[in-house]
């Protein structure tokens, strides 16, 4: 058995399944107006405590002007807001609005659905083993 080919097939299948779940989430409801990249921006913002434009650009590995354009669209649509720093009035932090938080929750639910589909087919020991393997892989990638 060629392990590399077998693993490649498995990765492709997992990627396709996750893609289908995300496509379903994006094809209906509130996520349908967004791209995967836009939702990724919101995810990063939600996981970062009051980021600035510079911090977001660094985390997303894009330029500050690219982040600024994306943020302006989200702010205009009511999903984000800029909050001026009290200690340095030149600095603005980016925060999710309640509507922005709802979008992130919908996207997280799609990931949770995928995780549930995986663990439905595994016993507790296999689930723990899979978590350990994925955690190890993510540390190396």
Domain positions in the chain: 3-140
CB 99, CB 79: distance < 8 Å: yes
Give me the pLDDT at residue 92, please: 94
Distance CA 26, CA 39 (A): 10
In the beta sheet, which residues pair with residue 92? 84
Residue 114: pLDDT over 90: no
The pLDDT tens digits of the residues spanning 19-60 come to: 787 777 777 677 777 887 888 899 999 999 999 999 999 999
Ramachandran assignment for 83, one of left (phi > 0), alpha (psi -120 to 50 degrees), beta (any other):
beta
CB 111, CB 85: distance < 8 Å: no
Percent of the chain with pLDDT over 70: 97
Q: 72: which 2 tokens?
A: 């302006």
**Number of CB atoms found within 10 A of residue 12's CB:** 10
Per DSSP, 31 falls in state G
The pLDDT tens digits of the residues spanning 122-132 come to: 999 999 999 99
Per DSSP, 80 falls in state E
Classified by CATH at the fold level, domain 3-140 comes out as Arc Repressor Mutant, subunit A (1.10.10)
Give me the pLDDT at residue 128, please: 94
Max avg pLDDT among 12-21, 31-40, 61-70: 61-70
Give me the pLDDT at residue 1, please: 66
More confident residue, 87 or 110: 87
Distance CA 46, CA 61 (A): 17
Distance CA 116, CA 129 (A): 16
């Amino acid at each position: 058995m060629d392990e590399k080919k077998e693993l490649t097939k498995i990765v492709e299948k997992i990627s396709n399944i996750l893609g289908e779940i995300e496509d379903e989430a994006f094809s209906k409801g509130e996520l349908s107006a967004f791209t995967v990249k836009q939702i990724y921006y919101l995810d990063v913002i939600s996981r970062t405590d009051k980021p600035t434009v510079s911090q977001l650009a660094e985390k997303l590995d894009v330029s500050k002007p690219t982040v600024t354009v994306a943020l302006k669209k989200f702010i205009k649509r009511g999903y984000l807001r800029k909050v001026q720093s009290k200690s340095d009035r030149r600095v603005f932090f980016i925060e999710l609005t309640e509507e922005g938080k709802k979008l992130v929750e919908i996207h997280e639910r799609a990931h949770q659905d995928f995780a549930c589909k995986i663990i439905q087919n595994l016993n507790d020991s296999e689930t723990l083993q899979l978590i350990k393997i994925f955690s190890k892989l993510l540390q190396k990638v």
